[in-house]
Structure 1
Amino acid sequence: MNRRVLRKFSLVSLRDLLAASAPTIVLVLAACVVAYVVVDPAPPRRVLLSTGQENGAYEEFGKKYAAILQREDIRVTLERSLGSEQNLQRLVDGQADVAFVQSGSTSEDDAQQRGLVSLGSLFTEPVWLFLRDGAGKGKKGDNSGVQRLTDLKGLRINLGPEGTGVPKLFRQVLAVNGLEAKDLQVSSLENTPATVELLAGRIDGLVFSSAPEAPLIQMLLQTPGIRLFDFRQAEAYTRRLPFLTHVVLPRGIVDLGRDIPAQDFHLIAPTATLVAREDLHPALVDLFVKAAIDIHGGAGWFQQQGQFPSPRYTEIPVAKEAAKYYKDGPPFLQRYLSFWLANLFDRLWVVVVALAALIIPLSKIVPPLYVWRIRSRVYRWYGQLRAVEGELEQVPADAPAAQRDEVRAALLRRLDEIEERVNHISIPLAYADALYGLRSHINFVRQRVQA
């Protein structure tokens, strides 16, 4: 019995406290959900990466990015393209989230106006000019072939489709030699069919700009009857065209046993950059930079260990999240937690801010609301007592005794009913004084009726 009484008359009514707090709790939860979903939304699970031509380095690297991000449940959809120019256009049109772009394809001002940011430069992609043996022999029949770019006059050279960065790049290279594209017999085939044409002898040469990992580059470097043009003036090109760098293809790097190539080749090279739309989710920026370090961070034919990826060598402004990653390494939570779990905790600060902004002011509303709910159970009966007194006062002083007795009896019955119902009110002990005050007032009204 004592336990039931203690449960019924506790210091605090949990039911009333919950009822008074419910609107506040619902409001706080709604604000947290809005802050979590709208203010700082979760990263998308699907990303569109625009790569390059079939059998090109961009396509090969794109597959590696897709494999790494798949481990974090991010699906990377690869879209082939003609090259840098088309990739830039896809980014601007919203048809791609991330793309490979060659340095020199755009300017800093143009990139800012288009809303593009760099996630870092990835690797150098030399300009490969492959020629058939015997192409461009001297007029007197010597076998010197093409020694300088001016010797390309009149030759059939494939520069690739206009959507790639190669035609624009090579025209700039020709221009510093006093040549124009019209001085050559230029074709615009894609890499794979152009290679077929070169091997069949229907063109004299073709130009690639790609990392050495590209399958076509590897094949042509080892194909008899095909030779690589040596840019002996490479250092001068880098002075005239600042977005180019001078790299050297070491002797024997392709095949030491067969001594391929049989000499050092000087090449000019733009830099491949990973470019994204500026609205790419910050968490995905970190994920792409991490993948870039895994893929491009090692030593290669033209780079030292750790030289790439890098925030340098690009004319496109670097995303602030990427710059921070290159400077400080991965975010603290991502060093110890999975990507999604780290992202969850990283985004919870928005919820904390929402809680702090709402709980402090709303906490001043809940206590008065709770007190009002408790006391309202008592105060509402005072209206009934006032009604009883009002009916008592309406009885005329000169009314017959029988009428007064009838009214008195009816009012006493109503007071008994009120008292009976008041006796069943459940109220916390902290507010028992109001209940006992109500009972005394009921007795006071009863005495008036009886008098």
Structure 2
Amino acid sequence: MRGGAMWRIYGPVIAVAILGFVIALFLMDPAPPKTIRFGAGAPGGAYHAYAQRYQRLLAEQGVDVELVDTAGSIDNLRLLEEDFIDVALVQGGLTGVSEEKTLRSLGGLFEEPFWVFVREGVPATDFGDLKDLRVSIGPEGSGTRALAASLQRAYGGDWTNGARLAMSTREAEAALRAGDIDAAAFAASPDAAYIQALLHAEGIRLLPFDRAEAIARREEGLSSVILLRGVADIGADIPERDVPLIAAVSQLVVRDDVHPAIEAVLLDAALAIHSDKSLFSPAGRFPNANNTDLPVSKQTIRFYRDGPSFLRRYFPFSVANFLDRAWVLAIPLLTLAFPLVRAAPPIYRWRVRRRIYIWYRDLRALEEEGRATPPGEPRKSVISRLERLQADIGKLDVPLSYNDDLYRLRSHVEFVRQLLSPAGPASSVQIS
């Protein structure tokens, strides 16, 4: 196929394909954002440390994570609903019907026990004994404060304002060590540095929840766990006995309009960060789609059941995301391209033959005109035009496979020229 002819035939096909591709690009799902905002909790807390790990892992995939310092889980939920942040760690058991309309969970990540540390010598053996003491229950907007307030209501009685002190994690730890308060409550992962420090601190003990199972049955989103003897430090025998505690499951929460690709890369990071064993759970228990109190997307359920998608396993994030968004358009594009490609060769053959056969119309007209013209000088004009026609046909360029049609035409022109010439054959056979 000659170059010019190829472009004349396949050019429109290629143009239609490019046009379809451009239209498809406009119709396909938008690309994921390059930057997201992560509600990180208070600096120095476990949530903040986890948020920094998410930031590092997502940066490796080309997604910038802007950490937003917050007061804790309650503050995170508020900022998520206000669309000020896109994702955050949230303590389980804090959401309601309003949050279910705009937020969804990417799974439970780790058990977050409710730790209550008291100074030695403080006459308290149970959480209810703290009613009249100086107790920090976390800053306003924190999950710790929300859970502590709920437990204070569950235990009943009149709790003084001194038993509801609003201190940050660092302030509460320092005040407890200094003796400025009698007790401090924290809802945190056992891996948090300040929890480990307080477990080893002299003159400070961990308050047990002997009725943890009963509390878990009554309070939604809570479970009972056991801090086994010596699990924090075998050599130092910390704790000295099994300590029953209550715990909520922290979960990764996103707005329901977060791009699916961002969900996917967050799930990958969650699996890398939270799948190890902890003091309360074996390896592989978390993350999961079971310990949540918010709706879970189908993509999240599929991830925990089957793992990352085929594309995410074998391609970088940006490539996998583009292919994942584009594959749904491949079928209509192929449906359009297949008949166009199939139709191109017949169209090409028709166009080449048409260039040859269109000359037969002129040839027939000249033959009829020559027959109707008396021999002699008047017929010479017709013969001259036949010769020009023959010269023009000689300039016609067609592929080699169509040369037989071309030479047949040239032989027919020569036949008509001889027929009309003075020395031509006497018979008058007309070309049909």
2:84 — aligned with what?
95
Q: Which amino acid in the other structure matches residue 146 of structure 2?
A: K
Q: Do residues 428 (structure 1) and 406 (structure 2) align?
A: no
- CA displacement at 1:23 relative to structure 2: 2.0
Q: Which amino acid in the other structure matches residue 337 of structure 2?
A: I
1:265 — aligned with what?
243
Paired residues of 2:132 and 2:159 also in contact (CA < 8 A): no
The whole-number CA distance in structure 2 between the counterparts of 1:134 and 1:234 is: 23
Q: Which amino acid in the other structure matches residue 388 of structure 2?
A: E
Q: Deviations over 1:208-235 (max 9, x none)?
A: 1110222222222233333332212111
| Change over 3 Å in CA distance of 1:99–1:386 after alignment to 2 | farther
Task: Give the match's secondary structure for 2:94.
Answer: coil
Task: Give the match's secondary structure for 1:128.
Answer: strand
1:191 — aligned with what?
169
For 1:112-123, list aligned pairs within 5 A.
112-114=100-102, 116-123=103-110
For 1:367-446, list aligned pairs within 5 A.
367-378=345-356, 413-432=384-403, 435-436=406-407, 438-439=409-410
1:231 — aligned with what?
209
Q: Deviations over 1:292-322 (max 9, x none)?
A: 2332222211112222212112111222222
Task: Give the match's secondary structure for 1:94.
Answer: coil
Q: Do residues 126 (structure 1) and 104 (structure 2) align?
A: no
The whole-number CA distance in structure 1 between the counterparts of 2:159 and 2:98 is: 25
Q: Do residues 146 (structure 1) and 124 (structure 2) align?
A: yes
| Change over 3 Å in CA distance of 1:392–1:329 after alignment to 2 | same
1:106 equivalent among 95, 101, 110? 95
Q: Deviations over 1:75-131 (max 9, x none)?
A: 333322221222223333433332111111213x444411x2222111111112233
The whole-number CA distance in structure 2 between the counterparts of 1:34 and 1:205 is: 64
| Change over 3 Å in CA distance of 1:14–1:189 after alignment to 2 | same
| Change over 3 Å in CA distance of 1:217–1:321 after alignment to 2 | same
| Change over 3 Å in CA distance of 1:378–1:134 after alignment to 2 | same
Q: Percent identity?
A: 38
1:299 — aligned with what?
277
Q: Deviations over 1:396-433 (max 9, x none)?
A: x9xxx9xx95x866665554333322211111344446
Task: Give the match's secondary structure for 2:58.
Answer: helix
2:232 — aligned with what?
254
Task: Give the match's secondary structure for 1:363.
Answer: helix
Q: Deviations over 1:141-188 (max 9, x none)?
A: xxxx12333332243333333322222222211111124666655333
The whole-number CA distance in structure 2 between the counterparts of 1:26 and 1:273 is: 50
Paired residues of 2:28 and 2:326 also in contact (CA < 8 A): no
| Change over 3 Å in CA distance of 1:111–1:391 after alignment to 2 | farther
1:350 — aligned with what?
328
2:222 — aligned with what?
244
The whole-number CA distance in structure 2 between the counterparts of 1:220 and 1:210 is: 12
The whole-number CA distance in structure 2 between the counterparts of 1:381 and 1:169 is: 93
| Change over 3 Å in CA distance of 1:155–1:147 after alignment to 2 | same
Please report the RMSD computed on the Cα atoms of aligned residues, expressed in angstroms: 3.7
- CA displacement at 1:328 relative to structure 2: 2.4
The whole-number CA distance in structure 2 between the counterparts of 1:113 and 1:161 is: 27
Stretches of structure 2 that go unaligned for 5 or more consecutive residues are 423-432
Q: Do residues 218 (structure 1) and 189 (structure 2) align?
A: no
Aligned residues: 422
Paired residues of 2:39 and 2:69 also in contact (CA < 8 A): yes
